[in-house]
Structure 1
Amino acid sequence: MSMKRRDFLKTALASSAAIALSPGLVGNAQAATDILVGSIHDLSGGLDAYGKPMQDAMVFAAEEINAAGGLLGRQIKIVTKDPQSSMQQYAQLAQELALRDKVAVLHGGITSASREVIRPIMRKTNTLYFYNTQYEGGVCDRNTFCTGQTPAQNLATAVPDIMRRWGKKIYIVAADYNYGQIVSQWVKKYALENGGNVLSIDYFPLDVTEFGPTVQKIQAASPDFVFSALVGGAHVSFYRQWAAAGLKGKIPMASSTFSHGQEHIVLNAPESDGILVSGNYFPSIDNPANKAFTAAWAKRFGADYPYITELAAATYQGMHLWAKSVSKAGTLDRAKVLEALESGMSFDGPTGRVSIDPATHHCTMDIRLGEVKEKKWSIRETWPQRAPLDTSSVCDLIKNPGENQQFVIKI
C-alpha cells in the first residue's frame, strides 16, 4: 500500500493542473493562501490498518473540494502527521498542528485514548476538532465533533437482531481499554433488555496475539454466538485461531469492529465468512452517491485498493461537513463555523444522509448490518436515521455550551 500511495502522489503532482489540486496538497510547497487542515492518523505502528484509509479519505475529500473551486476562493492543503500509534507522539504532533501550522481544523485520532490526548489541546488552542471514529459515546465538548457511530446507534439495533438470528447466550471478547470495556457493557445491557445473557467477557491488551486458552474457554461455555470488540493488527490472530480450532462453523460470530482494520482482507475467506458487523458504511451500499464515491475512489487509488473502511467513510463525511459549514459561515472564524455546524448541518454522501445533532455534536445516520462472504459484504438489515441517544442523555451543549468532558453513561 505504501508503494501504491507514493505512485499516486507522483501522478497527482504531474497532473495537478488538470484536477485542480492546490500546489501544496501533496507536495512540500505551500501557497500563501492555502487553508491548512490537520490530519493525525496512525500511518505506522499497530493501528496503521485503520489510519491509512482515513488519511486517504482526507486527501480524497480535499481533492474533491479543491476541484470544485476550493473554500472561500482558496485551496485546501492537508498537513499530515503520523503519531506511530504512540500517545506521546499524538500530544506532540497535535500541538505542532495547532500552534506551529495553525490549521483551521484537525481531523484525527483512532482510539479513544488518542482522542482524549488530542481533544484538550484543540480546545485550549481554539482549534476545531473532528473525531471520525466509532466509539463508546459520551464526549461533550463544543469544540469537538464526533462523526462515528455510538452504541445507541449500532448496538441497540444489531444486538437484538443478532439474538433473534442466533440465540440469547453471548460470549464477549474485547480490547482492554475504554472502548472495549464500555462497549461490552452496552452489549450486556441490550442483551439483558431483550432476554439474553452474557456468559463471560474477556479483555485483551492491544498487543496480545495468543488466544488459545480463550478459545478453549468459549468452547466450554458453549454460547449461541461470540461478540467481538477486538481492535488492531495483533487481534486478527483471534479469528485465525478460532477457525483453526474448528469452531468457525459451530459457533457464529458478530462484531462492532471487524473490517474497520481490513481484517476480512487479511484473513482468508473461510476464516471470516459469515461474520456479522453493524455499521454505517459498507462499500456495497446500493445508492447513487455510493456508486459514484466508490468509482471515483477506484479511479484515484486503483481498482485493487484493498477496502474502503467504515472509518475512511466517516472521515470523508467529516471533511465535507466541515467544508460545508465553512462555506455557509463565509469565513474560517471558529465561532462562526461552529454556529454553521450547529445549524443542523447535513451531508448526503455514500452512507446516506449524515446530520450533526446541535446538542451533542454527534451525527444522526443510517445503521446497517452486514455479512461478509468471500471478502465482500452483503447488507442484511438497515435502520434509517438513528440518533445518538446515549450521548444525548448526558450532553446538551445548547443548554451547557461550556461543558468539557467525556461522560461515562449510566448503563
Structure 2
Amino acid sequence: MSVSRRSLLKSVAAAPLALAAPSLVRSAFAADPIKMGVLLDQSGGIELLGSPMLEATRLAVKEINDSGGLLDRPVEIIAYDPQTTIQFYTQYATQLAAGDQVDVVQGGITSASREAIRPVLNRFQKLYFYNTFYEGGVCDFNNVCTGSTPAQTVEKLIPYAMKKWGSKVYVLAADYNYGQITSQWVKKYVGDNGGEVQEIEFFPLDVTNFGPTIKKIEAAKPDFVVSALVGAAHISFYKQYAAAGLKAKIPLASTVFSAGGEQTLLGAEETEGMLVSFAYFEEIDTPKNAKFLKDLRANASKPINYVAEVTARSYEGVLLWAEAVRKAGSVDRVEVLKALQTPVSIEGPSGTLTIDTQTNHLSQNIYIAEIRDRKINIVESFAAQPPTDTRLVCDLVATPDQQTFYFENGLEAAGIQ
C-alpha cells in the first residue's frame, strides 16, 4: 500500500511519541533495555490504520516485559509519527538507527514508506519488520515482510467470486504501485480461471468523483467489480455506486476493503455482500484471538473500532522477532536472522505463522469473508499458504545478499505482460 503526499506536507515536523517502557517496569530488570524502534503513522491521513497498529505493538511488548522480558532484559519502545510523509520516514529511520541505536525496527504502513525505510536500515545494518499486506516482491534478507501478498489472498478471492457471480470482471485500482501491481495479479487470476477482465481503471488517491466510471461499469455489464481502491477519498466510490443503484445489480469484491474497518463506517446498503480476503479478521473464532482482542482493547489508550490484519500482524510481528531473539540467545542482527531461518514459527491470533526461509515472508492462513449487515462473515479458510508470488523472484537461501524490490520482475516471472 502507498498514500499520496498531497497536502500532508503541511506539517513540517513530527514529534516523537514518548512510548518507552515505564521506569517501574525497567527497574525490575538488572540489564539495560533492548530497544525497539517503531514507525507507524498517527496522523497525516492513514492514522485509521496506524493508531491500532501502534496499540497492538505496545501490547506485544507489554506481554513480553510482564513475562520477564527477553534474555532477562526489558524491551523499550522508541516510536515516531512519520505523519504519512516520505521525508519523515527517512528522517526517523535514520534517527532510530544512528541516533537511538535501536536493535530492531517495526513499522511502515505504505509501500512507499517501506521503500523509504528499508534502504536506511540496510545502510545502518538494523533489522526491519514490515507488518502490512502489500503487492509482493521484496527480496531483502534484512527485511521480514509479515503481511499477506496477492498469491495468498487475491489468488483465493478471484476464483471464489467468479464461481459465485460469473467470469466478466471490471477492475478499479488506486494509481500507484499497490493498485497497479495488484490489478495485474487480478487480471492473471481471472484469466487463469477462464474469465475476462473487461477493463482496468486507475485513480489518483485524491479522486472523489466516480460518476463517469460508474456509468462505464453500467454500460459494460460485468458480472462483478474488483476494487483495489485505497484511502479516505476512494471510499466515495462505494457510496456513489450504491446511490446509482448498481450495488444491487453488479456485486463487488475487494483486495483492500475492511483493512481499516470501513464496513463499520458505511451503510449496509453500500457494503452488503462484498467479498474480501485477508490473513486475519477480528471474527476468527479461537481462544487465542478472543484473548488478544480482549487484551488489546483493555490496554489501548483510545477505542479501537475494528481489528484488521495490519493490527493483528503488528502484534504478531513483535512476537516473531521475540521468538527469534530467544532462539538466537542474542539481539545481534546476524544471529537473529540466522534464527529466523531455522525457521521461526508462532501461534498468533491469526493462526500458525511460519517464516518462509526463501523469501523472509510468511506461510500463513488465509480467509475469505463476505460482508453481511456491516459485519464480516468468514466463508472459507486456507491453511499455511506460502508467498508463491515473491518466491518467483526471490531465493534468499541461495543468494542471501539481495536487497531488491522486484515488483515488475515478479509480474514478468508470473507470465503477466
TM-score (norm 1): 0.91
Q: What's the offset of the Cα at 1:298? A: 2.8
Runs of at least 4 residues off by over 6 Å: none
Match of 1:372 in 2: 371
Q: After the TM superposition, which residues 225-240 of structure 1 pair with which residues of structure 2 at under 5 Å, given as runs? A: 225-240=224-239
Distance of 1:321 and 1:207 partners within structure 2 = 36
5 Å-filtered alignment, 1:137-156, equals: 137-156=136-155
1:176 corresponding residue in structure 2: 175
Residue deviations 1:132-151 (CA, integer Å, cap 9, x gap):
11111111111000001111
1:304/1:112 CA distance change after superposition, 3 Å? closer
Q: Distance in 1 between matches of 2:329 and 2:35?
A: 16
2:261 aligned partner:
262
Q: Distance in 2 between matches of 1:303 and 1:165?
A: 39
Given that 2:260 and 2:306 are in contact with CA atoms closer than 8 Å, whether structure 1 keeps it comes out as no
Q: Which residue of 2 aligns with 1:162?
A: 161
1:394 match: secondary structure: coil
How far did 1:31 drift? 10
Check the 8 A contact 2:190/2:196 in 1, yes or no: yes
2:193 maps to which residue?
A: 194
> Are the counterparts in 2 of residues 281 and 310 from structure 1 also a CA contact under 8 Å?
yes
Letter in 2 for 1:398: V
Post-superposition offset of 1:266: 2.0
Match of 1:3 in 2: none
Would the aligned equivalents of 2:55 and 2:301 in 1 still touch at CA under 8 Å? no
Identity over aligned pairs, percent = 49
| Equivalent position of 1:65 in the other structure | 64
* Counterpart mapping for 1:396-407 below 5 A: 396-407=395-406
Cα distance in structure 2, aligned partners of 1:176 and 1:108: 23
CA contact (8 A) 2:30 2:73 kept: no
Offset from partner CA, 1:6-28 (integer Å, 9 cap, x none): xxx99x97xx96xxx4479xxxx
Deviation (angstroms), 1:106: 0.7
Please say if residues 171 and 199 of structure 1, whose CA atoms lie closer than 8 Å, have aligned partners that are also in contact. yes
Secondary structure of 1:152 counterpart: coil
What does residue 205 of structure 1 align with?
A: 204
In 1, distance between residues paired with 2:218 and 2:309? Answer: 31
Q: Deviations over 1:288-309 (max 9, x none)?
A: 2112212222322389631111
Spell out, residue by residue over 1:182-221, the C-alpha distance to the aligned partner (whole angstroms, 9 max, x if none): 0000000010011111111111112222211111111111
What 5-or-longer segments of structure 2 have no aligned partner? Answer: 1-17
Contact 1:233/1:261, CA 8 A, preserved across alignment: no
Task: Report how far residue 392 of structure 1 moved.
Answer: 1.0
**Alpha carbons of structure 1 residues 304 and 123: separation in structure 2 relative to 1, 3 Å:** closer
Q: Deviations over 1:236-265 (max 9, x none)?
A: 111111111121211111111001122112
TM-score, normalised to structure 2's length?
0.90
Residue 269 of structure 1 and its aligned partner are, at CA, apart by 2.3
| Alpha-carbon distance between aligned partners in 1 of 2:172 and 2:30, rounded to the nearest angstrom | 49
Query: CA offsets, 1:276-299, max 9 Å, x none?
Result: 111110111112211221222232
Aligned residues of 1:227 and 1:255 also touching (Cα < 8 A): yes
- Which runs of structure 2 are paired with 1:127-142 in the superposition (5 Å)? 127-142=126-141
Whether contact under 8 Å (1:329, 1:340) holds in the other structure is yes
**Partner residue in 1 for 2:96:** 97
Q: Is the 8 A contact 2:31 2:72 kept in 1?
A: no
Instruction: Check the 8 A contact 2:356/2:362 in 1, yes or no.
Output: yes
- The equivalent of 1:391 in structure 2 is 390
Opposite residue 263 of structure 1, the aligned amino acid is: E
Is the CA contact (8 Å cut-off) linking 2:264 and 2:375 kept in structure 1?
no
Measured on the aligned residues, the alpha-carbon RMSD in Å equals 2.1
CA distance in structure 1 between the partners assigned to 2:206 and 2:54 by the alignment: 23
Q: Is the 8 A contact 1:53 1:309 kept in 2?
A: no
Name the amino acid aligned to 1:228. Answer: S
Count of matched residue pairs: 392
- Following the alignment from structure 1 to structure 2, what is the Cα–Cα distance between the partners of residues 252 and 232? 21
Residue of structure 2 in register with 1:216 after alignment: 215
Q: CA deviation at 1:76?
A: 1.3
Please report how far the alpha carbon of residue 72 of structure 1 lies from its aligned counterpart in structure 2 after TM superposition.
Answer: 1.2
Task: Report the alpha carbon displacement of residue 311 of structure 1 after superposing the two structures with TM.
Answer: 0.5
Hey, what does 2:117 align to over in structure 1? 118
Q: Distance in 2 between matches of 1:93 and 1:32?
A: 26
How far, CA to CA, are the matches of 2:301 and 2:38 in structure 1?
22
Matches within 5 A, 1:45-64: 45-64=44-63
Which sections of structure 1, spanning at least 5 residues, go unmatched? 1-8, 25-29
Partner of 2:321 in structure 1?
Answer: 322
The one-letter amino acid paired with 1:374 is D
